[in-house]
Structure 1
Amino acid sequence: MTNNKNRRIKIREAVPNDAEETAPLILNAFDTERELLGKNHEERIKTLKKLFKKTKNRVTYQDTYIAEINNETAGVLISFQGDKLSQKNRYTFLHLILTKNPIQLIRTIYIYLKQISQMASFEETKKDEMYIACLSVHPKHRRKGIAEKLLKHHEKTAKQKGYKKSSLCVHGKNHPAINLYHKKGYKEKNKIQADGIKIIKMTKNIKNQ
């Protein structure tokens, strides 16, 4: 049964027009980033759509892959080289402040500086790692092997680019995701508490996979 489901899953590169369907999935996977994107759900979705259509930031369509079942968006993967993280953080912040009014701008800068302070001792990823910035599956399509398919696609792409390690960060209470990553060979590397949320970094050696 699982094999039949996997055969219907198609992985493709994202395009800017995917913003409408991918933004809610990306937001579902975010933890500490939510507050930075906006004060409420509507504002956060609007911000994500804008970021997705732009380039070089953390959620750009350029680093995104879409999992489809019968031409319907079922999952999303955002991954990029670890040595690009600092640049992507800068571009993300730049895009954020350029879209805010004066009051929103002050709030955004305050939250950004607070998060930088909290995450200062936490190494999100390393230069020699291919980093998963987001892996999210639509609730309607869970338990269909989509997360596994996206994870496999990420690791294959990483090896093609010459990377020997894969890394990701996951919410400490997201036990289904943590169990999946453990099952696929990921090991807990580091932990941090940010805004009351435990974030776990996990890594995997993919050299011989």
Structure 2
Amino acid sequence: MIRPARLTDAPAISQLIVLAMGNLAGKFANSTDEAKILSLFERFVSQTGNQYSYENILVWDEQAEVCGMIIAYDGAELDKLRKPFLEYTRSQLGFTGQPEDETQSGEFYIDCLSVNPRHQGKGFAKKLIKALFDRAAELGHQTVGLLVSKGNDKAKKLYTGLGFGLKGEKELLGGFHYHLQYPVLNDPPQNQLP
């Protein structure tokens, strides 16, 4: 079942974030040590008022296990939500990068989507995305956007198959991505979340 994330989900969610981000997670942690990288994301998932906060996450929960998650927030809030994370990674971990703006005002931005490899192929990613469309509509957003790494054809196919269209290309910390958007209809939401 899909539900809003809880504080207690932080350890499982941090593993899914690192899985989705790949090498980018290590860049933020300024480390290749998996424990340090996981600790960084668990710290921020557990807090409020940042881009990785449990407040911005929906999870797929099956038999009390977080099998997948999706993080999304108002693109107009990017600077405010990113600030605590960047301040911490710079002052405590030595991160020196300057991430480009990955979203903008007018877009409900999918920052991260991940499904545990043991649960892939069951349609969880599609269901999480569709639940996010409903959440975006409930919050009054008309556009959902995201970045897909160039070369990740499987992910690009998933999103375009759900109705996302290519809007351009963006660079983020040395990686090149497709910028995709989905127009949220103003129909009543199909999946009501608590």
Which residue is 2:87 aligned to?
Answer: 94
Q: Secondary structure at the match of 1:149?
A: helix
Answer yes or no: is the 8 Å Cα contact 2:142–2:183 preserved in 1.
yes
% identical aligned pairs:
25
Residue 33 of structure 1 and its aligned partner are, at CA, apart by 4.4
Which residue is 1:27 aligned to?
Answer: 18
Answer yes or no: is the 8 Å Cα contact 1:51–1:95 preserved in 2.
no
Which residue is 2:119 aligned to?
Answer: 141
Which residue is 1:39 aligned to?
Answer: 31
Residue 55 of structure 1 and its aligned partner are, at CA, apart by 1.4
Residue 71 of structure 1 and its aligned partner are, at CA, apart by 2.1
Q: Secondary structure at the match of 2:168?
A: strand
Q: Secondary structure at the match of 2:66?
A: strand
Which residue is 2:4 aligned to?
Answer: 13
The residue type equivalent to 2:165 in the other structure is: K
Of 122, 130, 143, which residue of structure 2 is paired with 1:152? 130
Q: How do residues 99-114 of structure 1 correspond to structure 2 at under 5 angstroms? A: 100=92, 104=93, 107-108=94-95, 110=96, 112=97
Q: Secondary structure at the match of 1:126?
A: coil
Say if 1:87 and 1:139 are closer, same or farther in 2 by CA, change over 3 A: same
Q: Secondary structure at the match of 1:25?
A: helix
TM-score (norm 1): 0.82
Which residue is 1:181 aligned to?
Answer: 159
Cα RMSD of the aligned pairs, angstroms, is 1.8
TM-score (norm 2): 0.87
The residue type equivalent to 2:115 in the other structure is: V
Per mean C-alpha deviation after superposition, the further-off stretch among 68-77 and 30-39 is 30-39
Distance 1:38 1:21 in 2: 21
The residue type equivalent to 2:177 in the other structure is: I
Distance 2:45 2:173 in 1: 25
Q: Which runs of 5+ in 2 are unaligned?
A: 188-194
The residue type equivalent to 1:69 in the other structure is: E
Q: Deviations over 1:17-48 (max 9, x none)?
A: 21111111011111534301231222111111
Which residue is 1:58 aligned to?
Answer: 51
Residues paired across the two proteins, number: 185
Distance 1:164 1:20 in 2: 32
